[in-house]
Structure 1
Amino acid sequence: MISKLKHYTLLGISILPFLGHAQEQTKNPQNWYNLDYAEDGVRGISTEKAYDLLKDKKSSLVVVGVLDGGVDYNHEDLKDVMWVNPKEIPDNGKDDDHNGYIDDIHGWNFLGNSTGENVQYDNLEVTRQIRRLEPKYMSVLPSTSLTEAERREFVTYQRMVSDYTTKLDEANFGNLNYGTLKEETDKIVTKLDKDPKDITVSDITAMKPESDREKMAVRMLKRGLDGTNFADFYRDLEEGVKYFNAQTMYHLNKEYDSRSIVGDNYDDASERHYGNPDIKGPDAEHGTHVAGIIGAKRENGLGVNGIANNVRLMGVRLVPDGDERDKDVANGIRYAVDNGAKVINMSFGKGYAYNKQVVDEAIKYAQEKDVLLVHAAGNDSENNDVTQNYPMKYLTDSLGAITGEVDNWITVGATSSGLNDELLASFSNYGYKSVDVFAPGVKINSTMPESNYKEQDGTSMASPVVAGLAALIRSYYPELTAKEVKDIIMKSVTKIDEKVKIKSGGTTKKVYLDEISVSGGIINARAAIEEAERYIGIKK
């Protein structure tokens, strides 16, 4: 799971809510990320300009694996571009193609069981690791005899406990205060006797609070309504309450463990055939949004235009509301590769790994099969060169030492439509060595379940922008390898001669993109097509 949070102040104390970012206030066309800076004045990736170059070329179908929390395959803008397993007969309860997965028509769900029951919530990885290690290390004293391996594990455990305690304190505080604000806001809505969508700033300003709690709520509402409307603020408030409830009840609750629903032997990382074919699951918002960015059907008069115009989207559900599990990630990669995906998008990540080796083996398997993996950098405003974000392009041994780097991997940070120091998305992770490119990730309009549409922010949105471009390149230039497609995307970025703001060591400083990424720029579809043409010319 990739979280994104922003600091607000409630009752004079800084907390971490779910509400949006200052960069969201900029008004842009809903498809701004496909536009061209020179022509349209926003730093999109020039998708439409790329298609101008491709108008006389033919394309071939490319399958993209959407490894996520679920995809609404019946969405009006996605149903025509969903991958369909050609060797499987729908709903006959048989494994017709003998791949080990029964009725996998549009993909597979590794978060369910054969009776159709699905996991919705899970812990953060840090919670699972503490639950595993606590019985062994909770009572360790300075005099306790430990082996060298145990000593290293104990030090890691101590770091986890510190991180967990901080997260739990923040979650409890946020849960209390957001719950209080929601309760008081509901009272205000009742008092105003209006539908939330009709409430204005003037309505709030005209109120005369009758208690200290109501006075606090009015003050927060005035601040929160700066640049937005009440209905949007109220929706964000509801999402904030939901977020903190999930944190305290599931993500950070050591007593909660949903894995029994799946029914697999979780410690057996070689086990691959479990789950069910329900790729939508109980909460498909995130994955559906990601899928639309990659390949929502273009020029059909509905909703949005995806970046790639000749794709089939394969849903692989493995991300719960909580942190994904390494076994599921590895199996998801292998499933997508074995069933024909040439590009895989992974808009998820976490700060700890349980079995990195099994994920590394799957990544290497994808490399051997010439499949490009695209991964979100994370939304914690941190330096990935220093702070770990799993999975990653670096291969490690059992002690965590780096043993190599795969060449079929792109890590993506997020930019906004802002100029100068507002260009970098305020939440985006970065890294001179670990983050490869940047792509639009703020106010990205895309598909949502039940044929809806919505703008969302995150490196989760920037990653499928890159995956969509990779699919576009592989569609029109199928002779290019995954490594060559990565090189083309990296070499064709738009370099920005402006400093951006980043958070570093508790302070804010300004840097150039080439100081916080490998390529030093934002992807550019038109330039990538021109670069691909040069590659083809060289290969011939």
Structure 2
Amino acid sequence: MRFFPFSYQAGLVALLLPLAAAAQTTPSSSDAQPTQWHLLDPQQNNGVMGLSAERTYQELLKGRTATPVTVAVIDGGVDTAHVDLRGVMWRNPKEIAGNGKDDDGNGYIDDVYGWNFIGGQDGRNIDVEAYEDTRMLARLEPLYQGKTRNQVPAAKRAEFDLYQQVKKSYQTHYREDNEHYDQVKDTYPQTQAIADQMKQALGVSRLDTATLRNPPTDNADLRKISQLFYQNLKAGGYADLESVLDDMKRAYDQTKNLVEYSLDLKYTPRGIVGDDPDNLKQRFYGNADVTGPDPTHGTHVAGIIAGDRTNNVGIMGVAGLPVRIMAVRAVPNGDERDKDVANAIRYAVDNGAQIINMSFGKYFSPHREAVEEAIRYADTKGVLLVHSAGNESIDIDTKKQYPSPVFLNGKTIPNMITVGAASRTNNQELVADFSNYGKKNVDVFAPGVQIYSTLPNNTYGNESGTSMAGPMVAGMAAVLKAYFPKLSPEDLKRIIRESATPLHTKVLKPGGKTTIDFAELSNTGGLVNLYKAVQMAQQVQ
């Protein structure tokens, strides 16, 4: 599943609907568009906990020559025509677009920007998929429903136990998703109606923070409501109410799809692809449409990694040219399949990616061995994988999340780094409330709250999640690899980990009210810092 945190979106719904819940916060003195705070240096910017990208370019990398690096984004799709991405997209040099031929002989026809493993040869694409626990329950329930463990043959009891775990997980998904849907299905149209009424009353076409701070009216009630909206927009890091409504609409659509399809035990969209999803030997299926029906998530991720830094438009990625983005579509709304993830990794590796970003995950992996074989293959080819830790506020040392940072044999995966999400302030809210954590299984934290990046159709916006934190680290790895090309995946992982800034801030434990030492939430206890990472790389090469 792509990692947009539902808990965070639900919180924004409450925060940004003043008539339902008016959060009282101190407004900022600035009404500028949301800044890319994650690129800033904490020492130079009043403790804003960015990763120090701009300082690194100005002080350490100025005048140095970078070498080409390709970063694969395994996700739900990327808007390759976006003004801030089209100049940085990887292009298959041996493939001729649109001629219906496999010009380079790699088994994939017209794979100009990458490949789509959840599409069919007829051009159709999977958008919404079932959860993995839904798929597994649909298979196991006819075998074990109504039975006790003692009624099951000894040889089948392990599978019976799995059935019980899957059933419990499904029931939790069912309850939580329906609760989220109940929250957004009413508040979205209510907020839209209020916004329309306010625009009409104020005689404006857009409710941005400048208008709401000083609305063109003497009506005391309108001024009071405008001030509440203003305060909440600033607290949420939004420039205008229209952006909030866009986020609420997306949350509404996504939760509606999950409730109606991802939880449906009879929903099987795989016929669109036309393969056998359990045949792990199949490699050559799908289509060349790397954008897909919903490229929101992947487009935002791609912009964080390598949005064009030279065109003076929109945003800047952590990494600059000649870093390129390869789009590999394998992650639907719902849960990705192990087969597709394994093939996506292999495709990226075989076509020259040196770094792979994986902002997705799930809690059951029926074909885990296939994914691990692909990860081992990536290691033999010198490829680093960056994985988001997940957004359920849980300790992934105690509840496994896949792809796991540990092999089935218990050994740590040497070429994978797992990333949690942090916010911009070094106080008790430094760790994102939604972020997963783990003293053993999370390596570092990176900025992941209210991150401003590219969105489809040449637009921009803030998103939050470990999905945003992962590409911060993928972008850092790309910078290190571009300027220090001899670094191996293990070198990159070690440098990013060892250069992270250790912090002992007392923070709210994700999902709870108690405080914990920030250093206890990952195995480095650190927040990533590109400046220190480059300094360390300079000593190595």
TM-score range relative to shorter protein: 0.7 to 0.9
Task: State the partner residue of 1:532.
Answer: 537
Change (3 A) 1:478 1:461: same
Within-5 A mapping of 1:11-410: 30-41=35-46, 42-51=48-57, 52-148=59-155, 150-185=156-191, 194=200, 197-198=206-207, 206=221, 227=235, 230-309=241-320, 310-396=322-408, 402-410=409-417
Q: 1:246 aligns to what SS in structure 2?
A: helix
Gaps of 5+ in 1: 9-14, 208-219, 397-401
Q: 1:6 aligns to what SS in structure 2?
A: helix
Distance 1:111 1:163 in 2: 25
Distance 2:71 2:161 in 1: 40
Question: Quick check: 1:18–1:236 contact (8 Å CA) kept in 2?
Answer: no
Q: 1:447 aligns to what SS in structure 2?
A: strand
Distance 1:343 1:481 in 2: 11
Question: Quick check: 1:380–1:429 contact (8 Å CA) kept in 2?
Answer: yes
Task: State the partner residue of 1:399.
Answer: none
Distance 2:249 2:305 in 1: 28
Distance 1:296 1:222 in 2: 29
**Identical aligned residues as a percent:** 42
Q: 1:434 is matched with which residue: 430, 441, 454?
A: 441
| Structure 1 position 184, deviation (Å) | 4.8
Gaps of 5+ in 2: 17-22, 223-227
| Structure 1 position 7, deviation (Å) | 7.7
Query: Alpha-carbon deviations, 1:146-204, whole Å to 9, x = none?
Result: 224x2122122112212212321333344345333445556656766837844969999
Change (3 A) 1:24 1:490: farther
Q: 2:494 is matched with which residue: 478, 484, 487?
A: 487
Question: Quick check: 1:189–1:196 contact (8 Å CA) kept in 2?
Answer: no
TM-score normalised by L of structure 2: 0.88
Distance 1:182 1:60 in 2: 47
Aligned-pair Cα RMSD in Å: 2.9
Code of the residue aligned with 2:41 in structure 1: it is D
Query: Alpha-carbon deviations, 1:469-514, whole Å to 9, x = none?
Result: 101111111111110111111111112232221147xx43222232
Question: Quick check: 2:152–2:160 contact (8 Å CA) kept in 1?
Answer: no
Code of the residue aligned with 1:132 in structure 2: it is R
Query: Alpha-carbon deviations, 1:283-318, whole Å to 9, x = none?
Result: 111101101111111132111111112211100000
Q: 2:515 is matched with which residue: 510, 513, 516?
A: 510
Task: State the partner residue of 1:214.
Answer: none
Change (3 A) 1:16 1:305: closer
Question: Quick check: 1:16–1:174 contact (8 Å CA) kept in 2?
Answer: no
Task: Determine whether 1:445 maps to 2:457.
Answer: no
Q: 1:79 aligns to what SS in structure 2?
A: coil
Q: 1:88 aligns to what SS in structure 2?
A: coil
Distance 1:166 1:307 in 2: 37
Report the count of equivalent residues: 512
| Structure 1 position 447, deviation (Å) | 0.9
Distance 1:338 1:25 in 2: 51
Task: State the partner residue of 1:5.
Answer: 6
Task: State the partner residue of 1:501.
Answer: 508
Distance 1:20 1:339 in 2: 45
Q: 1:129 aligns to what SS in structure 2?
A: helix
Task: State the partner residue of 2:420.
Answer: 413
Change (3 A) 1:424 1:288: same
Distance 1:420 1:187 in 2: 36
Change (3 A) 1:502 1:111: same
Query: Alpha-carbon deviations, 1:56-104, whole Å to 9, x = none?
Result: 3211100111111101111111111111111111111111111100010
Distance 1:409 1:361 in 2: 13
Query: Alpha-carbon deviations, 1:511-539, whole Å to 9, x = none?
Result: 22321111111111111111001112xxx
Query: Alpha-carbon deviations, 1:263-300, whole Å to 9, x = none?
Result: 01111011010001110011111101101111111132
